Amino acid sequence: MDEKNYIQILEDSLESKIDLLRRLQVLCQEQTEILKDPNASPEAFEENIEEKGKLIDRLSALDQGFDAFFAKVKDQLENNRDQYRDSIAHMQEMIREITQRSSNLQVLEKQNSELAKAKFSQIRTQTKEIRQSRKVVNSYYQNMMKMNTVDPQFMDRKK
């Protein structure tokens, strides 16, 4: 395999990473909408999380493959740097875009984390209120049932 193929493989890998980061960004924005929507179903949130997990796994695998492949061809590329100047500059630009997208994703993830904490806190509060209401209703029902009964009375049998 010659250096041109190596560079093409590295560029393809970087383009795939950019595509995965774009898709992750879309999923993060969808997650924000789900968290902001009071009527959103837990299933929608769970599906979003699962899809993001799959993309993150693919991204990690792609990173590991890129690092391993780059380690193998690094010396050959550095020795022929002048010959591949344009390709190297293109890859550096793609790496800058990847870094920017990664930073944006981190910001979105932090915002989503805060939204999720607030949403789960709200759900806990609602659950607590429902439990308290249920206790009050049960207590009321039990008290009302007792009103129609006559308590046992003692009778004095001594004359």
Tens digits of per-residue pLDDT, 13-63?
999 999 999 999 999 999 999 989 888 888 998 999 999 999 999 999 999
- CATH second-level architecture of 3-113? Up-down Bundle (1.20)
* Location of structure tokens 């793609």: 94
| Cα–Cα distance for residue pair 148/142, rounded to 1 Å | 11
Per residue in 101-153, pLDDT (tens digit) is 999 999 999 999 999 898 888 888 888 888 888 888 888 777 777 766 666 66
Which tops the pLDDT comparison, 64 or 75?
Answer: 64
pLDDT of residue 148: 60
Alpha carbon distances (Å) from 13 to 51, 58, 63, 118, 141: 21, 12, 8, 38, 67
Please say whether the beta carbons of 107 and 26 come within 8 A.
no
User: What global pTM score does this model have?
Assistant: 0.75
| Cα–Cα distance for residue pair 159/152, rounded to 1 Å | 21
| Cα–Cα distance for residue pair 30/108, rounded to 1 Å | 11
Q: Inform me whether the pLDDT recorded for 1 exceeds 60.
A: no
Alpha carbon distances (Å) from 105 to 20, 21, 45, 52, 98: 11, 8, 18, 12, 10
Name the nearest CA neighbour of 14 among 106, 87, 76, 81. 87
Please say whether the beta carbons of 10 and 66 come within 8 A.
yes
| Cα–Cα distance for residue pair 52/61, rounded to 1 Å | 14
* Location of structure tokens 């790496």: 95
